[in-house]
Amino acid sequence: MDATPIIFFVVVLLLLLAGFPVSFTLGGASVLFGLFTFGIDFFNLLPLRIWGIMDNYILMAVPLFIYMGVMFEKSGLAEELLETMALLFGKLRGGLAISVLIVGAMLAAATGIVGATVVTMGVLTLPTMLKKGYKVEVATGIISASGTLGQIIPPSIVLVLLGSVLNISVGDLFIAAVIPGLILVGLYLLWIIYIAIFKPAQAPSMPEEDLQQFKGKLKYKRILTAFIVPFLLITAVLGSIFAGVASPTEAAAIGALGATLLTIIKGKFNKTILHDVSMSTMKLTSMAFMILVGASAFGLVFRGMGGDIYLTNLITGGGIEPNHFLAIIMIIIFIAGFFIDFIEITFIIVPVVAPIFLHLNIDLTWIGVLIAMNLQTSFLTPPFGFALFFLKGVAPDGVTTQHIYKGIIPYVVIQLIGLMIVILFPETAMWLPRVIGN
């Protein structure tokens, strides 16, 4: 069989590894190979594929969730939430780390934007944790890892994009990701408890004088404003999806409106905030959709060349077991995460392997959760882990890149353990969708 699709795939991958811009590499290479393979008629097909992206109702959730996350950060609620959790758990050894973990999980469910979460927690908690005696690696590790929970805990932009690429229900993918996300939170918590018990000097409790200010009525008022209000927003967004009342796009609109109203209530809303949030939303959305357009062109050419059929025949003809194929793909995605961005992996590798999983009768919703968990490690693995860059950019003097790299090693291992749990026990992902679906 013609090996042209494999040559095409390798050329695109080499260009990306060489550092060329993702969207232009995907789009440019696809146009050249498409023109060479299909002739001038290729330009009759490509606009229809691009229009299909622009007309995709589900993908409207992406800018709405981005707007929701950025507005939530600007409202000051993230800062209040961090301070309140730190004081609530401050008496415990490792209490600050536990508070960072809880806030990271809540911000993941409220924003789904890793960069905003890591930067917010890095600015607000890293100096405090270091001042209170936390080991640098312990502090940077939990902040980086907690910030990446937005990759797997819904409403995750990654899950929206994966649902679109895999052509499955984003709502089902959200529901399926809940328990795996909680498993990761639980494993992170066990690691913090281990450090607090066996290495207490690395994660001390807060001094009593710092806790005295947080007593009486002030305590309950802060809990109400800082914890309950964001929780209600999260419940409104996810609850409307899980209950079948709203689609993910409609729920994203609810979240965007809710975040705006919270900012107004906090007295932080003004023309400047609206302008900044809108500009951030536009830039992030444009970046994602430009890559999506290029990836769509790539998929059109690759499938037009028969690349998906070529790979399917290669796998099935070689007698590779479905579990072995799954293991190979998980390893490829994990290694790719060291070098290329999660969006590139989503739009390059996933469309290529999805038809093969479908042919092997493997549930694509389960595959979507596994890929999302695997992609989460790409934010933590050097040299191009974005969470590490975000944290280094806001870290105080004295915190080196080496500190950050050492700090994330346990959490990369934990994420791989969590991934193995969901692989070995698929019900961890598939039980909740079945229960809610019934």
The whole-angstrom separation of Cα 438 and Cα 424 is 24
Higher pLDDT, residue 117 or 251: 251
CA neighbor of 147 nearest in space, from 173, 116, 170: 116
Q: Is the pLDDT of residue 207 over 50?
A: yes
Higher pLDDT, residue 89 or 143: 143
pLDDT at res. 210 = 62
Is the overall model pTM greater than 0.85, yes or no?
A: no
- Average pLDDT for the chain: 80
Residue type, 431: W
Predicted confidence (pLDDT) per residue in 69-88, tens digit: 778 777 777 667 777 777 77
pLDDT at res. 109 = 72
Predicted confidence (pLDDT) per residue in 31-50, tens digit: 888 888 888 877 777 777 77
pLDDT at res. 26 = 77
SS (H, E, C) the chain: CCCHHHHHHHHHHHHHHCCCCHHHHHHHHHHHHHHHHHHHHHHHHHHHHHHHHHCCCHHHHHHHHHHHHHHHHHCCHHHHHHHHHHHHCCCCCCHHHHHHHHHHHHHHHHCCCHHHHHHHHHHHHHHHHHHCCCCHHHHHHHHHHHHHHHHCCCCCHHHHHHHHHHCCCHHHHHHHHHHHHHHHHHHHHHHHHHHHHHCHHHCCCCCHHHHCCCCHHHHHHHHHHHHHHHHHHHHHHHHHHHCCCCCHHHHHHHHHHHHHHHHHHCCCCCHHHHHHHHHHHHHHHHHHHHHHHHHHHHHHHHHHCCHHHHHHHHHHHCCCCHHHHHHHHHHHHHHHCCCCCHHHHHHHHHHHHHHHHHHCCCCHHHHHHHHHHHHHHHCCCCCCCHHHHHHHHHCCCCCCHHHHHHHHHHHHHHHHHHHHHHHHCCHHHHHHHHHHHC
- The two structure tokens encoding residue 109: 């469910």
Q: Best-predicted range by mean pLDDT among 225-229, 405-409, 418-422?
A: 418-422
pLDDT band at residue 217 under the 50/70/90 scheme: very low
Predicted confidence (pLDDT) per residue in 5-30, tens digit: 778 878 877 877 676 776 778 788 88
Predicted confidence (pLDDT) per residue in 316-334, tens digit: 666 678 888 898 889 888 8
* Burial bucket for residue 316 (CB in 10 Å: 0-12, 13-18, 19+): middle
pLDDT at res. 302 = 77
Predicted confidence (pLDDT) per residue in 340-397, tens digit: 667 777 877 888 888 888 888 889 999 999 999 998 887 788 766 777 777 877 787 7
Q: Is the pLDDT of residue 215 over 60?
A: no
pLDDT band at residue 213 under the 50/70/90 scheme: low
CA 182 to chain centre: 14
Q: What is the mean pLDDT of residues 257-280?
A: 86
Tell me how many domains the chain contains: 1
pLDDT band at residue 315 under the 50/70/90 scheme: low
The whole-angstrom separation of Cα 112 and Cα 248 is 13
For 155, phi and psi rounded to 5 degrees? -85, 105
Question: Please, are residues 418 and 152 in contact by the beta-carbon 8 Å criterion?
Answer: no
pLDDT band at residue 113 under the 50/70/90 scheme: low
pLDDT band at residue 249 under the 50/70/90 scheme: confident
pLDDT band at residue 2 under the 50/70/90 scheme: low
Q: By residue range, what is the domain housing residue 92?
A: 4-437
Q: What is the mean pLDDT of residues 52-66?
A: 75
